[in-house]
Structure 1
Amino acid sequence: MPLLGGSTRTRLDMSYLPKNFRLLLSSVLIALVTPGCAPAQEGEPRAEGRASDVATDAERVVIREMARIEARTDSIDRIFQPLPLLRPVEEAVFARFGNQQQLERARALGIPPGPTADQLAALQQEGRLVRLDESTRYWVIRDLDHSVPIVVPSVRSLLNEIGERFQSRLNELDLPAFRYEITSVLRSDEDQQALRRVNPNAAAGTSTHQFATTIDIAYSAFAAPAEPVVSIDPGESVWLRPHLEGVAASMTETVAARRSRELQAILGRVLIEMQQEGKVMVTMERLQPVYHMTVARRLP
């Protein structure tokens, strides 16, 4: 059977492929030969022949699409190479508002700390609190160990504006629409106490996170765009699409991890701009690589 470079192989030899190609292809081929994955049609060749043909078609699709994904992610990585990091004078802006100033705004704009589950439900019913979606075009929420994704409406407005501006800057640089990651939101008294035992950076007294006005955004990790960076063409092997899209997202996040300092700078300059507009107060934490921020005024 002719494959890459016009060579002929009598079996599915994957030794010539890079490791990530082989891992994906192996899992796909196992699925393809599982009964029920490629249903037989009347008049088709015997099952063994069908499985071999389908697997060979899948191999071609995977090789072609993986090459396209790799080329795209390599091109994204190259764009980052000349981009400037945050300068010390820019980082100094994040020291302007300390915990006490953020705490004053949190008390003025947020809810009383320590609400019960019933009180949280009632506040959401009244529209004084909203639950954040776990995944949007602008952000993803990673596993929250010591908080719940509930905020005052102004914080959701703030997050949307941050995401819109961040992705606008990325677009200007011909970069894909990476999403930021939210790592901490509303904490109960118990959450704050538990967090203090494992995170020395957690506030010793009352935290701004207890008023539903404050969130943490990671600057060491960014999520892949909501839409794939490559339009996958699976041909007749349509069941490959979600697998290949997952690989594309994973490889894109690998680039984001490698270029996190550049992305940190792009996001940081958006936050500096919005802080100067009086919309947010931001601290760049060091022990935990996050932008800790409190909404500074009511936002529509």
Structure 2
Amino acid sequence: MTKNEVYKIMKISKNRFLQGFGIIVVFLGIIRCSFPNVVKTHISVSKSDSSCNKPTESANKSIEKTDEFSLKIPVASKFFNKDGSLVKNKIYSVPNFGIAFPDQNDVQLISAKKYGVNPVQNRNEAEQRIGELVYIGSNPYYYVDNLKSSIPYLVPRAAVLLQDIARNFFDSLQVKRIPLHKIIITSVMRSKSDVQKLRSHNGNATQNSCHLYGTTVDVCYNRYKTVEAPGENRRKVRNDTLKWVLSEVLNDMREQNRCHIKYEVHQGCFHITVK
């Protein structure tokens, strides 16, 4: 017998396949109707086998109770109590502002020169260097004061740092249940002409200031902007309380190695340079 003859014998057409399948279905139906006990016995055996792998009824109830209990009582965290209510986080501040924020100008100047731009002569030059500097304006998280001796520009790295500080300050106020306030920016980038004017009436103003490089901001610690809707009278908060919360935020940023910070006693601000 040749291969072609074997192939013709083994080849099954579509119609023959459907006919055979129909005959098998009819045959199985006849067996089920004639011998129903066979089907019942098979089902009971399957159930008994599967029951060995299933937990008992009491185990199911205990699992359901456990799931229900875990849904009703959340795990205690930094933000929620076990009953689901918000945690009122405490204010810790820092033990000493001078010790926590000791970074002098010479230390900050290294990072300022590394991450900053070449000093600009005046505001017009800063506006033309949009590829290196970004404009800093008041937004929902911080307020830029009326700048008399600086211009509102920073390098992008420092702008991101400032935004993160302001947003973290907001978050800290919320978890401590303190009415929201914005931090106030009192000094940003200084042009060469700004430094000359400062030195003419302020002998303490340094000629090689970190502010020249667009990496440094001064954040006021004795004044804040209250966030409230028109006509709303928010609960008054002491500036010292807000200063303590802000110091926590700044201390975290400094420990994350994101910035240098100097606590300025006479200027009433935190002098911050990006790293």
TM-score bracket for this pair, using the shorter chain length: 0.5 to 0.7
Shift of 1:154: 1.1
Q: Quick one: which of 96, 101, 105 aligns to 1:94? A: 101
In 1, the alpha carbon distance for the partners of 2:273 and 2:120 equals: 18
1:1-300 pair list within 5 angstroms: 83=91, 86-88=94-96, 91-95=98-102, 97-124=103-130, 126=131, 128-133=132-137, 135-203=138-206, 205-225=207-227, 227-228=228-229, 242=230, 244-245=231-232, 248=233, 255-256=236-237, 259-296=238-275
Report if aligned partners of 1:111, 1:212 keep a CA contact under 8 Å in 2. Answer: yes
Identity of paired residues, percent? 29
In 2, the alpha carbon distance for the partners of 1:267 and 1:201 equals: 26
Shift of 1:199: 4.0
Shift of 1:86: 4.0
**Secondary structure, aligned partner of 1:293:** strand
In 1, the alpha carbon distance for the partners of 2:143 and 2:177 equals: 22
Report if aligned partners of 1:201, 1:287 keep a CA contact under 8 Å in 2. Answer: no
Q: Over alpha carbons, which structure has the higher Rg?
A: 2
**Amino acid of the structure 2 residue aligned with 1:196:** R
Report if aligned partners of 1:182, 1:216 keep a CA contact under 8 Å in 2. Answer: yes
Report if aligned partners of 2:93, 2:248 keep a CA contact under 8 Å in 1. Answer: no
Shift of 1:85: 5.4
Give a deviation string over 1:19-48, Cα, whole Å, max 9, x none.
xxxxxxxxxxxxxxxxxxxxxxxxxxxxxx
Higher relative contact order (CA 8 A, sep 6+): 1
Q: What is the total number of aligned residue pairs between the two structures?
A: 188
In 1, the alpha carbon distance for the partners of 2:202 and 2:248 equals: 27
**Amino acid of the structure 1 residue aligned with 2:226:** A
Shift of 1:201: 4.3
Instruction: Say what the alpha-carbon RMSD is for the aligned residues.
Output: 2.3
**Amino acid of the structure 2 residue aligned with 1:294:** T
Aligned CA distance change for structure 1 residues 83 and 121 (closer, same or farther; 3 Å): closer
**Secondary structure, aligned partner of 1:220:** coil
**Secondary structure, aligned partner of 1:169:** helix
**Secondary structure, aligned partner of 2:262:** strand
In 2, the alpha carbon distance for the partners of 1:154 and 1:217 equals: 17
**Secondary structure, aligned partner of 2:248:** helix
Report if aligned partners of 2:121, 2:193 keep a CA contact under 8 Å in 1. Answer: no
Aligned CA distance change for structure 1 residues 188 and 287 (closer, same or farther; 3 Å): same
Aligned CA distance change for structure 1 residues 121 and 265 (closer, same or farther; 3 Å): same
Is there any run of 5+ residues in structure 2 with no aligned partner, and where?
1-87
Shift of 1:156: 1.3
Query: Which contiguous aligned blocks of 4+ residues in structure 1 show a shift greater than 6 angstroms?
Result: none
**Amino acid of the structure 2 residue aligned with 1:87:** P
**Amino acid of the structure 2 residue aligned with 1:215:** V
**Amino acid of the structure 2 residue aligned with 1:167:** F
**Secondary structure, aligned partner of 1:221:** coil
Give a deviation string over 1:67-120, Cα, whole Å, max 9, x none.
xxxxxxxxxxxx9xx9555422x540211x211111111111111113444532
In 2, the alpha carbon distance for the partners of 1:213 and 1:98 equals: 15
**Amino acid of the structure 2 residue aligned with 1:265:** W
